[in-house]
Amino acid sequence: MTDLLEVRNLSKYYSFKNGWLRPTRVCALEPINFSVKRGETIAIMGETGSGKSTLAKLIAGAEVPTSGEIYLNGELLDPNNYQQRCREIRMIFQDSFGSLNPQLTIGKQLLEPLRFNTAWTPAERQEHVYVTLQKVGLLPDHFDFYPHMLSSGQQQRVCIARAIILEPQIIVADEAFASLDPSIRAQIINLILDLQEDMGISFIFASHSPEIVRHLADKILIMHRGKMIEFDSTQALLTNPKEQLTKILLQSEQLNKALKHTTTQE
């Protein structure tokens, strides 16, 4: 199987004006190489300021990289070609209410990407929005609702609907589960698993929670101070992590208990 997404020497530096002389450069992400297969789930873990969000934004095209290339199906993605990027790679954010436009109804917000990226008639677009709303577990009636009329779980569903409406190949999520209530979070996790099965989407997400990462991810990418320090399958990293940081990040008391439990059973 060929790689769906290939990241080569991708890096990001920010520069600040500092005094009269040369601007200082701060490294957010050192050159990084990895690849993602179709339908695969990758978790990005790391401490605060380790470059997780930068990496997620670079993949989604929300930021322009300082150097390096991203290939999708062997084709180079131009960092300035938003139309190409937003069709194939879409993003979900942590704050679902903040990422929706409070002045537009749910339906209008979902119609927008279709208006700019497809050659469909208005009737076709409308129909597609209804189908997508049902796919994420909402009703066609929600078309005329405004974001504040929905609960936080439903808002996150709308964000997911907006992400899948163009049938992308990759979804990037930055801490999409962190601010949800436990019962709603479990529903959203199930939804993402269902969508992945139906549509064969690759899913790249940044998360703090070892439980969610262990449940969802095929591979884990560990970041530390802008560097990728480990990248391997979930099972490999759980059983024998090479770095101390990996151990700390994946450690959780409940998880340890669970692992002990399974090993004693075997």
Partner 1 sequence: MSNILDIRNLTIELETSAGVVKVLDKLSLQLAEGEIHTLVGESGSGKSLLAKAIMGFINPRWKITADRLWWRHYDLLALNPVQRRLVTGRDMAMIFQNPGSYLDPNTKVGEQLRETIPQSELKGIYLRRKATRTVRAERLLHRVGIKDTAKVMNSYPQQLSEGIAQKVSIAMAIAHNPKLLIADEPTTAMEPNTRNQIYRLLAKLSASQGMSILMITQDLTAIIPETQRMSLVYCGQLMETGPTEKLMSEPFHPYTDAMLKMSFFNQDVAPKTRLPTLTGAIPTLQHMPIGCRLGPRCPNARRACIHQPRLSKVKQHQFACHFPLIEIVHHD
- Footprint of partner 1 (CB under 8 A): 47-48, 151-154, 178-179, 181-187, 189-190, 193-194, 208-211, 214-216, 234, 248-249, 252-255, 257-258, 261
Q: Which of 36/70 has CB closer to partner 1?
A: 36
Q: Which two tokens stand for residue 88?
A: 């194939």
Q: Which of 11/155 has CB closer to partner 1?
A: 155
Q: Which of 72/180 has CB closer to partner 1?
A: 180
Q: Provide, rounded to whole angstroms, the least separation between the CB of residue 156 and partner 1.
A: 11
- Beta-bridge partner residues of 230: 222
Q: Which of 10/36 has CB closer to partner 1?
A: 36
Q: Provide, rounded to whole angstroms, the least separation between the CB of residue 15 and partner 1.
A: 21
Q: Which of 72/188 has CB closer to partner 1?
A: 188
Q: Provide, rounded to whole angstroms, the least separation between the CB of residue 86 and partner 1.
A: 28
Q: Provide, rounded to whole angstroms, the least separation between the CB of residue 124 and partner 1.
A: 31
> What is the rounded distance in angstroms from the CA atom of residue 140 to the CA atom of residue 132?
9
Q: Provide, rounded to whole angstroms, the least separation between the CB of residue 204 and partner 1.
A: 16
Q: Which of 39/113 has CB closer to partner 1?
A: 39
Strand 170-174, strand 89-92: pairing: parallel
Q: Provide, rounded to whole angstroms, the least separation between the CB of residue 187 and partner 1.
A: 5
